[in-house]
Amino acid sequence: MRIRDLTVVYKTPAGELPAVSEIDMDLPAGTITGLVGESGSGKSTLALSLLNAVQPPGRISSGTVEIDGLGDVVPLQGDKLRRVRGGQIGYVFQAAQNSLNPLKTVGKQLLDLGRSHDVDDLRALVSEAKELLGRMGLDGARVLDSYQHELSGGMRQRVGIMLALVLNAHVVVLDEPTTALDMITQANILEIIRNIHAERGLTTLVITHDIGVVAEVADQLAVMYGGRIVERGPVRSVLGEPRHPYTQGLIRAIPRLTGDIDQARALPGRPPTLGTIPERGCVFRDRCELRMSVCDTVEPVLERHADQLVACHAVAGQEPDGGAPTDDGQEQT
């Protein structure tokens, strides 16, 4: 999947305001890409735009979302778009219970999914669903006969994964797949994601505010703030040597199990809302300890530093090896 110049705006009394702005990102085939950021950074809006599913008063104002063998998803409408959703792109929603119909059993919803995609052999579809649920540690027959309120949060999340994969989608988007789950269930869900991704050769996007989830499963990592990608690269590089001040702040805020617990420090201030995102300059400047005058007027662009892409004026002024020159010519790391 190749995302180019993607902008999503919402209509407000103040005019159309961007929730996602000029996103350029690739999801390489066979990889897991993690997308992290605080609540309100635009992660879910970006994910919905990959299915062309942004609801009014929002709309995709510009950009393309191209998938190998399918083309650009953005102009698709009607029946063509419906076939893409679930058929080529699977989506696991943040609140699993909200994506299930409380008045129908899981099995009836599965059959509805099959009929909407003109599946000829519904028995084979049910058999595939039972196999997927069984591999996820569930009794497939029992789950298909259950209503959503009869299932635990972890079971509903597994059902969401099954529904996203049962039609053999090639691209899978998981929006906060472990939110509100206990630690053991989280670990099980992450193992399921890794195993099924590897076996089916999927292209997977995992959206989360939990950096630990990304460290567990992802190959690539993109950090989002104020509707923009501010850092992107291999997960080991970004987590091992974060360059953008926002990425550094997110990592500093993680509580430690050992050592001085006071080392964990929350980011100062609050993330911008749709109405407070600055029209020009750096979106992170009000919370940044490296703020410079240029940050107020010029928006930084993603530039390569080693194997990472970083959008920061302060980082752009550093030496190629990451050291910032001091007044006496020495390097400070």
Residues 133-142: tens digit of each pLDDT: 998 889 999 9
Residue pair 3/26 in contact (Cβ under 8 Å)? The answer is yes
CA atoms within 13 A on the CB side of 309: 18
Q: What is the pLDDT of residues 257-275, one digit of tens each?
A: 776 766 678 888 888 998 8
- The one-character DSSP state at 302 is -
Mean pLDDT across 276-303: 93
pLDDT over threshold 80, residue 81: yes
Q: Is 136 helix (H, G, I), strand (E, B) or coil?
A: coil
Report CA-CA distances (Å) from 53 to 37, 49, 60, 203.
Answer: 21, 6, 9, 19
Q: What is the DSSP string of 243-256?
A: -SHHHHHHHHTSPP
What's the pLDDT band for 178 if we cut at 50, 70, 90? confident
How many Å apart are CA 98 and CA 190, to the nearest integer? 21
pLDDT over threshold 60, residue 321: no
Which helix (H) or strand (E) covers residue 60, if one does? strand 58-67
Q: Is 36 helix (H, G, I), strand (E, B) or coil?
A: strand
What's the pLDDT band for 323 if we cut at 50, 70, 90? very low
Predicted local confidence at residue 154, as pLDDT = 85
In one-letter notation, the amino acid at residue 296 is D
pLDDT over threshold 90, residue 333: no
How many Å apart are CA 205 and CA 209, to the nearest integer? 13
Residue where the block lists tokens 């190998």: 68
Residue where the block lists tokens 């991704």: 197
What's the pLDDT band for 83 if we cut at 50, 70, 90? confident
How many Å apart are CA 284 and CA 39, to the nearest integer? 15
SS (H, E, C) 184-201: HHHHHHHHHHHHHHHHHC
Higher local confidence (pLDDT), 312 or 252: 312
What's the pLDDT band for 330 if we cut at 50, 70, 90? very low
**CATH code matching the domain that covers 2-229, chosen among 3.10.20.30, 3.60.15.10, 1.10.10.10, 3.40.50.300:** 3.40.50.300
Residue pair 18/41 in contact (Cβ under 8 Å)? The answer is no
Residue where the block lists tokens 């050769």: 201
Identify the bridge partners of residue 175 per DSSP, sorted by sequence position: 207
pLDDT over threshold 50, residue 324: no
**Residue 65, token pair as written in the block:** 């979302």
If you average pLDDT over every residue of the chain, what do you get?
88
Residues in the chain: 333
Q: Is 96 helix (H, G, I), strand (E, B) or coil?
A: helix
Do you find a cis peptide bond into 268, omega within 30 degrees of 0? no
Residue pair 193/177 in contact (Cβ under 8 Å)? The answer is yes
Mean pLDDT across 101-126: 94
How many Å apart are CA 238 and CA 310, to the nearest integer? 10
| Domain map (residue ranges) of the chain | 2-229
Identify the bridge partners of residue 161 per DSSP, sorted by sequence position: none
Predicted local confidence at residue 259, as pLDDT = 67
Q: What is the pLDDT of residues 98-110, one digit of tens each?
A: 789 999 999 999 9
